[in-house]
């Protein structure tokens, strides 16, 4: 008999189909779900009117019960409201406060979904945690476990899993990794697997029906701080209403008249300045990446990779130059636009994920002719 596997049920078609596939393969399956407190049926901010834990647990159970019944599996709910706020939401707020652009899923997956939720699943007797991610896990000839892109290039989610540890990957299953989204939809229809939510998963799941700036403005201790807008020559050309309203490469909202549109080139939180320029000013030869989680062996000499500097970005050729075990300099084969501090940089060789870390410096502008492309501004 195959072991008990926990499936992270979100209510969508991907997790529902994953659970069905595992049952069809002979696994014993239990559904698990964690509540964040930011679901549509809960308050969107943590304040004195926040629903009680009992209410949240009951609401989640009622919401997901039809799926568990349809699959004929037990369902267990984990309260992660405090943990989610501390690990994910507070990170999101502090990153914006520091003038960077956060990547919440890269934090949530190792800490909450494959951390707290998996430990909860283990307490229930499950040996592994399965999710509806479009990614693959392979065991190499050496015995080492590797993470690969899902075969559906349009849905591949390996980027969001690049900070999982090898131990977490050992305990994970991705039943949809060898399938395309259209195949998943077709199978769900054939087996009458009806999701309770048609929404696709999103990088910032805790902001529903509103903008980031409105969400941030509601948070305790977060106060918009107006400041100066300067061009790349340091000339003052306008004022901004708060650096949290901007990210590298942004064009909208600058509101400074010019013959050509301005783009956000750099955010300087220490001086509360927004630096803007022309599109060509966005391009960088490289960047530095820190706190790298190496799924493959950490390199000791430069290696050739393809790198994604955000999820919706085509991976491009680059060289990784290790500076320490978890820090590296990235040299792009061709200058890249909008290299954004705070975002995740994920390294690939073919379809295999080598690892990923955090971009801490936007690199060197191609306008800086004195640079070698190796030494971006300091962290």
- So which residues are the catalytic ones? 108, 205
Helix (H) or strand (E) holding 77: strand 75-79
Alpha-carbon gap, residue 347 to 61, rounded angstroms: 39
CA distance 76 to 106: 25
Q: How far apart are CA 21 and CA 2, in angstroms?
A: 13
DSSP 178-237: TS-HHHHHHHHHHTT---S--PPP-S-TT--SS-HHHHHHTSTT-----EEEEETT--EE
What value, to the nearest 5°, has the Cα angle with vertex 180 and ends 177 and 182?
145
Task: Output DSSP code: residue 113.
Answer: I
**What whole-number distance in Å separates Cα of residue 32 and Cα of residue 130?**
10
Phi first, then psi, for residue 229 (nearest 5°) are -105, 130
Rounded Cα distance, 319 and 207, in Å: 36
| Residue 292 · residue 247 · CB < 8 Å | no
CA distance 114 to 310: 21
Contact between 5 and 173 under an 8 Å Cβ cutoff? The reply is yes
Is the CB of residue 304 less than 8 Å from the CB of residue 317?
yes
- Report the alpha-carbon distance of residue 288 to residue 306 in Å, rounded: 15
In eight-state DSSP terms, residue 110 is I
Residue with token string 């309203």: 245
First to last CA, the chain: 53
Beta bridge partners of 356: 293, 346
Backbone angles phi, psi at 144, to 5 degrees: -75, 140
């Amino acid at each position: 008999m195959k072991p008990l596997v926990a499936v992270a049920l979100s209510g969508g078609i991907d997790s529902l189909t994953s659970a069905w596939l595992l049952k069809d393969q002979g696994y014993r399956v239990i559904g698990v779900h964690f509540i964040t407190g930011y679901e549509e049926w809960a308050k969107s901010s943590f304040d004195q009117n926040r629903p009680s834990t009992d209410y949240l647990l009951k609401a989640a159970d009622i919401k997901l019960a039809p799926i568990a019944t349809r699959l004929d599996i037990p369902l267990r709910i984990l309260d992660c409201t405090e943990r989610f706020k501390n690990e994910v939401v507070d990170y999101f707020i502090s990153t914006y406060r520091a003038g960077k652009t956060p990547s919440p899923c890269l934090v949530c997956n190792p800490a909450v979904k494959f951390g707290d939720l998996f430990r909860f699943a283990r307490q229930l007797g499950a040996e592994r945690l399965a999710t509806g991610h479009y990614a693959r896990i392979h065991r190499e000839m050496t015995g080492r476990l590797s993470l690969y892109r899902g075969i559906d290039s349009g849905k591949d989610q390996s980027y969001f899993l690049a900070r999982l540890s090898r131990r977490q990957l050992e305990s994970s299953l991705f039943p949809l990794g060898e399938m395309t989204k259209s195949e998943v939809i077709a199978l769900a229809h054939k087996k009458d697997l009806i999701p309770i939510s048609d929404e696709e998963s999103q990088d910032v799941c805790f902001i529903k029906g509103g903008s980031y700036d409105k969400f941030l403005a509601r948070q305790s201790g977060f106060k918009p701080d107006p400041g100066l807008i300067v061009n790349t020559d340091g000339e003052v050309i306008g004022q901004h209403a708060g650096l949290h309203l901007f990210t590298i490469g942004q064009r909208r909202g600058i509101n400074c008249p010019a013959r050509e549109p301005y783009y956000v080139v750099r955010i300087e939180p220490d001086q509360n300045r927004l630096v803007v320029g022309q599109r060509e000013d966005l391009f960088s030869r490289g960047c530095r990446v820190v706190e790298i989680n190496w799924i493959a062996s950490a390199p000791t000499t430069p290696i050739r990779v393809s790198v994604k500097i955000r999820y919706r970005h085509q991976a491009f050729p680059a060289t990784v130059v290790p500076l320490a075990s978890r820090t590296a300099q990235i040299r792009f084969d061709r200058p890249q636009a909008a290299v954004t501090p705070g975002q995740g940089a994920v390294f690939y060789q073919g379809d295999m994920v080598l690892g990923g870390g955090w971009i801490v410096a936007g690199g060197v502008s191609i306008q800086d002719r004195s640079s070698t492309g190796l030494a971006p501004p300091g962290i």
